[in-house]
Homo-oligomer: A and B are copies of this chain.
């Protein structure tokens, strides 16, 4: 898979979006640009489904502009896809020909099933759920997909989205109760067509602008301390509450709603009704937001091909790798710290001094691999920067709570400082967490100090239970210096946190020269 810049342009019924990805080796990638222009193509369809001349001209102009931007980024491959509005347009060919002629980009018109599939690919590889219903409320259509054991088993594309439903049903703004009732009935009728949806009682994953907007409004209202949308969870009743608030807010007041952008204010009610109806039909246990959708699914297809997997077997590992590359953090170095961390935790578990806990393993993995991320900001106050970055960067397969815990472990210095760092994140914490953070933080801190030079001088370690103090035997590459200096304060912290002394023993052949 080529290393370099790649772009996806998604010609939707509400907006045209451009995402530019920087691709690294092994299918790693990160977004460097995300631009949207609200063209409302579905509003430029005549009753006979012909895109007007103005609609064509506007669309071509936007794509032209995006193409120029791609050139400026040095993009070598632009993938163009079109969805519902183009799908149903009788003069589809005319539009696509003009685009190809003027920009050189050959757009592919996705079927509803393909659109659903790409959304599924994005979600199943970035949201850690084995079973869920996915719903993507677009401008002109809504894709609903059901996957179990991470395999897509059902899908339907409903030819109505936030823009078209608004145009068809909501004649006033705010809409009358009567119109909303009619809209709800129409959606229910559409949903009746998929018997499989009813009462699945699994989580629903919300994809696309409608779900993101509802989540953002919800986050702002409760002053959610993390700015992350991906993986955010809501109760279905909370969605209904926000819908009720939205439909009763007159348009001139709607711009004051924190989290709602101007270009979505007029279509959000219809979109929210759709989402709400799906949640009800599924009797969903919760709504999980995915920031990844169609565009990411298109790239993901290539990544999976390259990696020879049908779904990512380790989405967390993949996203950790993405971040190590993105922040030019040494994979060898962080991998070695993670290796030593595992060895030490496993030894403590084996000796019965710590319980074997999947959560702790996960936190330690993220913390150990990303422990050095903060150096990308500065080598001063690095642990503070690492804390910030672990809370902010794109990570898949872990919860927001996991992030907070992993960030605190990676940044651990003292329990007092940890409490200060976590002051705004109390809602994520449980009672025993502070002790777990201290133990894991000291463990990781000690291991990091043993690789302070990043040269892997400590090849391996093993813990030996002993009367009084534990012995930590180090298998070293060459005499230690900086490492011993750096580890001394962690040995003191160890005693405090584990209530047990630990002593380093360098293997006899390579003991530090006795000078």
10 new A-B contacts, CB < 8 A, other than A32-B379, A68-B453, are A33-B379, A34-B380, A61-B481, A65-B453, A68-B455, A69-B454, A69-B455, A227-B380, A291-B380, A377-B393
> Are B227 and A482 touching (Cβ within 8 A)?
no
Q: How many residues of A contact B (CB 8 A)?
A: 49
**What per-residue 1/0 map shows which CB atoms of A43-75 lie under 8 Å from chain B?**
000000000001001100110010011001000
Question: If the complex has contacts A57-B515, A62-B481, A392-B378, are A35 and B69 also in contact, measured as CB distance less than 8 A?
Answer: no
Residues of chain A from 383 to 421 with CB closer than 8 A to chain B in the complex? 384-385, 388-389, 392-394, 416
* Given A392-B378, A392-B381, A485-B37, A515 and B32 contact (CB-CB distance below 8 Å): no
* Residue numbers in B under 8 Å from A148 (CB-CB): none
Bound Cα distance from A31 to B377, whole angstroms = 11
Q: Which 3 A/B pairs are nearest by Cβ-Cβ distance?
A: A57-B515, A227-B381, A65-B481
User: Which residues of the other chain, B, contact A394 by a CB distance below 8 angstroms?
Assistant: 378, 380
Q: Cβ of A385: which chain B residues have Cβ within 8 Å of it?
A: 392
By a CB distance below 8 angstroms, the chain B residues around A128 are none
CB distance from A33 to the nearest CB of B (A): 7
A475-515 interface mask toward B, CB cutoff 8 Å, 1 = contact, 0 = none?
00001011001001100000000000000000000000101
* Complex partner residue of A455 from B72, B263, B379, CB under 8 angstroms: B72
The answer to whether B38 touches A485, judged by C-beta atoms less than 8 angstroms apart, is yes
Looking at the assembled complex, report how far the CB atom of A28 sits from the nearest CB atom of chain B, in whole angstroms.
15
- A31 / chain B contacts, CB cutoff of 8 Å: 379-380
A218 at the interface (CB under 8 A from B): no
**Number of copies of this kind of chain in the complex:** 2
Contact A34 B69, beta carbon cutoff 8 Å? no
User: Is A262 on the interface with B (CB-CB < 8 A)?
Assistant: yes
Query: How far apart sit A68 and B31, CA to CA, in the bound complex (Å)?
Result: 36
A471 part of interface (Cβ distance < 8 Å) = no
Measured in the bound complex, the distance between the Cα atoms of B393 and A393 in whole Å is 18
Identify the closest chain B residue to A56 (Cβ). B515
Contact between A32 and B481 (Cβ–Cβ < 8 Å)? Answer: no
| Chain B neighbourhood of A392, CB < 8 A | 377-378, 381, 384-385
CB of A410, distance to nearest CB on chain B (Å) = 16
Residues of B within 8 A of A38 (CB): 485
CB-defined contacts of A459 to chain B, threshold 8 Å? none
The residue of chain B having its C-beta at the shortest distance from the C-beta of A18 within the complex is B482
Question: By the criterion CB–CB under 8 Å, are B72 and A454 in contact?
Answer: yes
* Distance between A439 CB and nearest chain B CB, rounded to angstroms: 21
Q: How far is the CB of A324 from chain B (nearest CB, A)?
A: 15
Residues of B within 8 A of A35 (CB): 452-453, 482
| A462 interface residue (CB < 8 Å to B) | no
Q: Which chain B residue has the least Cβ–Cβ distance from A481?
A: B65
Asked if A375 is at the interface of the complex by the 8 Å CB criterion, the answer is yes
Given known contacts A377-B389, A392-B377, is B513 in contact with A384 (CB within 8 Å)?
no
**Cα of A65 to Cα of B34 in the assembled complex, Å:** 46
CB <8 Å contact, B453 and A69: yes
In A340-392, the 8 Å CB interface with B consists of: 375-381, 384-385, 388-389, 392
Once A262-B488, A377-B389, A481-B37 are accepted as A-B contacts, the answer to whether A515 and B453 lie under 8 Å apart by CB is: no
A32→B68 CA distance, assembly (Å): 36
A37: chain B residues within 8 A (beta carbon): 481-482, 485
Least distance between A486 CB and chain B CB atoms (Å) = 9
A57 to B375, CA, bound (A): 32
Cα–Cα distance between A237 and B360 once the two chains are bound (Å):
47
Closest Cβ of chain B: how far from A122's Cβ, in Å?
Answer: 15
9 A-B pairs with C-beta separation under 8 A: A31-B380, A32-B375, A32-B379, A35-B482, A65-B453, A68-B453, A69-B455, A258-B416, A377-B389
- CB neighbours of A32 from chain B (8 A): 375, 379
| Bound CA span A416–B381, Å | 29
Task: Say yes or no: B69 contacts A479, CB within 8 Å.
Answer: no
A61/B384 in contact, CB under 8 A: no
Q: Which residue of B lies closest to A381 (CB)?
A: B227
Residue of B with least CB distance to A484:
B37
Q: Within the assembled complex, what's the spacing in Å between the Cα atoms of A68 and B375?
A: 20
Chain B residues closer than 8 Å to A488, beta-carbon distance: 262
Contact assessment for B34 and A379 in the assembled complex, using a CB-CB cutoff below 8 Å: yes
Q: How far is the CA of A33 from the CA of B455 in the complex (A)?
A: 13
- The CA-CA distance from A452 to B33 in the complex, in Å, is 11
Closest to A376 in B: B376
Q: How far is the CA of A515 from the CA of B453 in the complex (A)?
A: 62
Instruction: Name the residue on B nearest A57 (C-beta).
Output: B515
Q: Closest Cβ of chain B: how far from A159's Cβ, in Å?
A: 27
In the bound complex, residues from chain B placing their C-beta under 8 Å from that of A455 are 68-69, 72
Task: Return chain B residues, CB-CB under 8 Å to A481.
Answer: 37, 61-62, 65
